[in-house]
Structure 1
């Protein structure tokens, strides 16, 4: 740190120290000002110029040093100088003080924070460059954050001092007037009856209503600003128009039709989207076939003769297609037309915030208007930029289901949920699989112990697992396909027959003509959404994979409710989407099901927690089904049973997790789960036993020792030893033994 910065820090520290030493925080209070009101007014009357100058200097110092008392000083300005002089003094002083705080933050912290948080500061600068003055004006007019935080935060950005000072002065002026005016009325309070005078009540009513009024005005100005250049139609074809017929689009359209709104749904390909056609339904059908093959191959676990698995890959894939066809009517245009939805097959492009141009499947074009529009165009697999990959005719989770011939050696790139599910499924179907993961573990969003259990399972089943292998290039050598990877500096070659890429997904936005609306998608194709899921314009919303941050079918349906309701009724009330309890399941064997925080996330966020573990190898139902492996891990608030997060690694993990998800959603703790009757023997008893583990760890030992003495006294001081036969009999009561945890 250079000498100038050290001097400035020393000066600031000295001034703050003097403020504390002379009890500045007790001087700048309303009670103190009222106690000395008469004497101060007499002195000010005799020394008006000196009083105004001193007041301005004190106000500048308090604001520049971010000390408490600015609000009281503003009221004092009105009380002692009146509306005109008080407003002028406070307005000038607050602007100068804010500018000094802005400059101090920039001088002291900007360079070091820019170096440490380069990407974050870069994004802030982009936003400031594009919309900085308006954003600052919004913060000033509707003070959600204290003004001193605004001063310091803006100093870290690229905003010019002149812009900052002018916008701050103009936008603080209305609020300053309200506070100064309230101060003038406070100065007139001489008796208790004055408190209910019309002038005083009016001043305080204005003070209380100002944030609400400012919010309404800001909303009006923002709408006028964002819609500038577009002509709103005089009437609309639809109340709601939905682009995309996947999970998010279908739920949005269903909700609109249910409340009797006129709604159209535009889908360019197949209704049902990724979930029905290329995602959830086909992958789970494939996983079920793979599980059946594994059961036959290891029938000796169940006292039967294991048999070699012989099957036709073409038949397996044909079964997948049959299952898609069986589920398809649930998402068909015919069903939704009966519900009241106009289903249109075609590709939509935005013309304005209320209009889309649709090119239908038969080549016709039509322009549709709607009061609100929902973007639910879904996502697609991402292909990484690896040299030679395109020449390998790579498979993705979209194109995989067209396979009829069984690959001889399958290479799968990616260790996330999709990559892991398909790796295990194809391996269990008898296809040699090599899984390549750039990172040090599979399922990087899960805790280390979760990933290690899955990795051990994969290796035990014969998967060729290559962790910390970064793909470099694909080549053909001697008639064979080879992937070269970097493994700790060593060039490693992996031969394969077909390659399946599963390294993430990106939003489908390329064909929507979003640039016509000034909407810029992120690098992964998703569109930036507000808390109400609106996209730049108050009447345009997005949900599902195209919105993020969770690219799950159930997350898409969850978002769709908010998008549809806000789109239809947002002029009256808007709802902020709630992500507090978002569960997900990776359908490997064992399943990995999680809701809430993991241990690693809790540590990264600085959240204090306790961990309770229960081994599923202790569960009677798991033992009976030869599935006695895995565990439950629950994070709770230290000393309390409130659940912060839970993960279930084991058979039926997704079903077991539902109980923890319900508890978190409705604020139920582990004691409530423990006190609930669970039928025996079921998989969900595992949730109860996990709660029992927490209860035992938090047993009131002091009370239990007192109870032990009470019971010994009631026995007449008898010896605590039990007869051997009683011990033997108790050992044969597993249900009672477990239920004692209640």
Structure 2
């Protein structure tokens, strides 16, 4: 969005600007973006108020990243016990006291919680108010406090960081069957002695795949339903195929190209009806998790009343400004990525521009954005995928190294997956990287750094990597690129030179 000075003057004309302000910055929402914004503002000695209606730490700490990764770890250990013979040990069926698994998840949340707590941020110099914030005008925020009071504050700038919530699809009968989402499942599963026997996971994206595989490994009979022809449609097909094969091997009944059309219950038996190639059938289940995506929280904050355009996200310009140049958005509400680390990244730009934009502004940088899906194997990517390169008509060449040839992966029993690098034809400049395998999210960091700093595969190849580690895969793929680009004529001359040297 390009905000012209004329439009900005017009947008402010209906409101009377205060002569003095109570705050330099008010941040609405204490998820990743909000916490980073408040932290930076306090560090810059601004007077900042952070408003959160529910839980500090937002979705990532309480409902998403943290609890799901704790679940994934428990499920992976159960999988390793079940397949201990792969490591020369006796394979046994693991005991799964499900209530203990869920309690461990809550213990993990509790251990991380102090990092995002009211006490910590108050100690940093942030005023934290627990309640619902609403914009009254471009400089005034009204907070309906959770304790029943109301407070109005004026501020030079606002950062909207209200996060996202689970999307609930329009499926006949869904609201009547007591479904779960990633927002409420951790509390609702608490205290249950056994894992759900028959579980339906609706959705084939990252969240759906992580949950489907984890519950299957813990002993659930899982059916995963996805409307698209394959899982993980944002990833290259070869990467998605690896994940789908692994999920199926763990016992998940994967139904792609299946559309959920109705839900219901009969004599206490819950069911979902799916349609595939014109045929319909019903699948009975005990629990269902809806994981079809997340949508920004946009309602109730006064955005529409101020004329701030919201469609799927809050519309912003390259400086993360909304229609009003002193109101910014960061995180899931701003898009285009729903990633915790991108939310924090955006928060830096939004906060610095909010506090110092009258002197210098910074355009948000999306040039090198990494992400990962924490299935087993993991899928991690940065830059262009092969599919995106084709779609955008970007010329590229591919260098690929298969992890079944990596010493450490063989020793660990994780010799599956690959590292795939897209480069400019004939050059080592990296356009994008996809890694499928054990700790792919960690391995990707070297390529993220290389791309951010403008380094090519030659620099990766010239870096010493510890032997034996999984990180050697990065050096191996760089070495493969180098071998692919050795000059045939140069090799001929080298051979002649060595022959001459032997006399």
Q: Same fold (TM over 0.5)?
A: yes
Q: Secondary structure at the match of 2:265?
A: strand
- Identify which range, 241-250 or 493-502, moves more after superposition: 493-502
2:202 paired residue among 409, 413, 419: 413
Determine the structure 2 residue equivalent to 1:645: 432
Looking at structure 2, the residues matched to 476 and 464 of structure 1 have their Cα atoms a distance apart, in angstroms, of: 21
Correspondent of 1:530 among 312, 317, 322: 317
Cα distance between partner residues in 1 of 2:44 and 2:220: 50
Count of residues in correspondence between the two structures:
499
In structure 1, how many angstroms separate the alpha carbons of the residues matched to 2:494 and 2:15? 78
Provide the residue aligned with 1:681 in structure 2: 468
What aligned pairs does 1:589-668 form with structure 2 within 5 A after superposition? 589-668=376-455
Q: Name 1:491's counterpart in structure 2.
A: 280
Partner of 1:549: 336
- Three-state SS of the structure 2 residue aligned to 1:288 is helix
2:366 equivalent among 579, 585, 593: 579
Separation of aligned partners in 2, 1:467 and 1:347 = 40
Question: In the TM superposition, what whole-angstrom CA distance separates every residue of 1:138-187 from its partner, at most 9, and x where no partner exists?
Answer: 9xxxxxxxxxxxxxxxxxxxxxxxxxxxxxxxxxxxxxxxxxxxxxxxxx
Which 5+ residue runs of structure 2 have no aligned equivalent? none
Q: State the partner residue of 1:95.
A: none
The match for 1:475 among 236, 244, 264 is 264
Q: Confirm or deny that 1:432 pairs with 2:221.
A: yes
Q: What secondary structure, in the 3-state scheme, does the structure 2 residue paired with 1:514 have? A: coil
Match of 2:236 among 444, 447, 454: 447
**Aligned residue number for residue 501 of structure 2:** 714
Q: CA deviation at 1:222?
A: 3.2
Matched, 1:519 2:304: no
CA distance in 2, matches of 1:707, 1:222: 67
Cα deviation 1:635-673 (Å, max 9, x = unaligned): 000000000000000001011100111111111000100
- Post-superposition Cα deviations, 1:268-317, rounded to whole Å, max 9, x if no partner, equal 00100001100111111111100111111111111111121112111110
Higher percent of residues as helix: 1
Q: For residue 243 of structure 1, what is the aligned residue in structure 2?
A: 28
Cα deviation for residue 485 of structure 1 reads 1.1
Cα deviation code 1:434-488 (max 9, x no counterpart): 0001011110000111111111111111111101001111122353212111101
Deviation string for 1:349-384 (max 9, x for gaps)? Answer: 110000011111111011011100000011100000
Give the strand-richer structure, 1 or 2: 2
- Is this contact kept in 1: 2:197–2:219, CA < 8 A? no
Per mean C-alpha deviation after superposition, the further-off stretch among 488-497 and 323-332 is 488-497
CA RMSD of aligned residues (A): 1.2
Match of 1:500 in 2: 289
Cα distance in 1, alignment partners of residues 8 and 375 from structure 2 = 48
Report the equivalent of 2:151.
366
Q: Distance in 1 between matches of 2:327 and 2:72?
A: 38
Query: Is residue 132 of structure 2 the alignment partner of residue 330 of structure 1?
Result: no
Deviations 1:520-548 (A, max 9, x none): 321x3x21111100111110000011111
Aligned residue for 2:352?
565
**Greater RCO, CA 8 A, separation 6+:** 2
TM-score by length of 1: 0.66
Match of 1:314 among 87, 99, 123: 99
Contact 2:330 2:346 in 1 (8 A): yes
Residues in 1 aligned to 2:205 and 2:309: alpha-carbon distance in whole angstroms: 27
Distance 1:242 1:473 in 2: 41
SS in 2 for 1:535: coil
Q: Which has the larger radius of gyration?
A: 1
Q: Deviations 1:223-245 (Å, cap 9, x if unpaired)?
A: 32110110001100110110001
- Matches of 1:478 and 1:357, distance apart in 2: 49
Residue number among 455, 458, 465 corresponding to 2:247 in the alignment: 458
For residues 288 and 176 of structure 2, the distance between their equivalents in structure 1, rounded to whole angstroms, comes to 11
> When the two structures are superposed, what TM-score results if normalisation uses the length of structure 2?
0.98
Give the gaps of 5 or more residues in structure 1: 1-126, 128-134, 139-217, 717-742
What secondary structure, in the 3-state scheme, does the structure 2 residue paired with 1:681 have? coil
